[in-house]
């Protein structure tokens, strides 16, 4: 085992970005804690480099599993250099027709699980005085789309939290990046997406249409998850890693257009904004 190779701790390695990233890390000589809801689902990844991989059970909604996995990683490797919060899934429905159990379950996995895993890893990074936390959010973490209100809310929550996290841990030598993919050719729409179908006619051209479109384009998206994984590796240990990393042409073009529109609106309302203050003495 190479004792100086960076140690990655990656949640959600059974499919999609997590799987491709873990594979690349191990193939390129890195050390990795590869996790999934059932370590048998990542046994093939660990087999790439048995001396540099540790496969663990991890359900991020289970605090006892989080504690056990982080402790096992520290015992096995002695450190963690990059935490990748990738575990999560999508949920589509209209806002009005969203079902409470699905909404709360999504927040448990996408938000509270991510928070809990990060809190468990932070003491290790803080003691080292170094590390990088990479949070997989989404273009939907910066822009709201029809049918994705609750999913988008989970990703917006991570974005705001990451701003505060960066302010607290950057002075300690720890970096924070949110990776914000647009549509990528993973199995997200097939295996990692739940839907509550819209039956209200008023949403036929918004939420219902987007749900149908999402199911239809699975497997034809422009984004390549292997290339995305390599980009994450390339920026992970740089001292000037970006806070925002939007991936894919659709994502980049859509986000930059929305940010320009948002800034223009805010700037146009400056006089109104200032009018809310007490008059100058």
The catalytic residues are: 151
Only one residue has tokens 């292997």, namely 226
CB atoms within 10 A of CB 205: 10
The helix/strand count (H/E) of the chain reads as: 11, 9
Helix H or strand E encompassing 105: helix 100-107
In b/e form, how buried is each residue of 213-242, taking b as 16+ CB within 10 angstroms?
ebeeebeebebebeebbeebbebbeeeebe
Backbone conformation region of residue 192, classed left if phi is above 0, alpha if psi is from -120 to 50, else beta: alpha
The angle subtended at Cα 234 by Cα 232 and Cα 238, nearest 5°, is 105
Residues 6+ apart with CB under 8 A from 140: 148, 151, 152, 155
Q: Could you give the angle at which helices 225-236 and 16-27 cross, rounded to 10 degrees?
A: 60
- CA angle 152–153–159, rounded 5-degree value: 90
- Give the closest residue to 56 by CA, choosing from 47, 69, 75, 70: 69
């Amino acid at each position: 085992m190479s004792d100086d190779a960076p140690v990655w701790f990656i949640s959600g390695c059974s499919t999609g970005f997590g799987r491709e990233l873990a594979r690349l890390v191990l193939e390129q000589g890195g050390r990795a804690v590869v996790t999934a809801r059932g370590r048998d689902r990542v046994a093939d990844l660990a087999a790439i480099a048995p001396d540099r991989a540790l496969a663990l059970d991890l359900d991020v909604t289970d605090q006892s599993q989080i504690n056990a996995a982080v402790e096992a990683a520290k015992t096995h490797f002695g450190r963690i250099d990059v935490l990748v919060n990738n575990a999560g899934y999508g949920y589509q429905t209209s806002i009005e027709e969203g079902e409470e159990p699905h909404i709360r379950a999504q927040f448990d996995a996408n938000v509270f699980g991510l928070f809990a895993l990060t809190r468990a890893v932070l003491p290790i990074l803080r003691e080292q005085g170094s590390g990088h936390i990479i949070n997989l959010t989404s273009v939907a973490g910066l822009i709201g789309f029809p049918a994705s209100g609750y999913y988008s809310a989970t990703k917006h929550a991570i974005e705001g939290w990451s701003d505060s996290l960066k302010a607290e841990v950057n002075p300690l030598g720890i970096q924070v990046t949110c990776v914000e993919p647009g549509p990528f050719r993973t199995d997200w729409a097939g295996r990692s997406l739940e839907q509550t179908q819209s039956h209200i006619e008023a949403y036929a051209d918004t939420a219902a249409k987007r749900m149908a479109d999402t199911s239809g384009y699975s497997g034809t998206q422009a984004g390549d998850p292997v290339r995305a994984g390599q980009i994450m590796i390339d920026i992970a240990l740089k001292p000037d890693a970006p806070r925002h990393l939007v991936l894919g042409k659709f994502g980049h073009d859509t986000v930059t257009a929305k940010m320009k529109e948002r800034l223009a609106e805010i700037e146009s309302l400056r006089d109104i904004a200032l009018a809310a203050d007490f008059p100058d003495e």
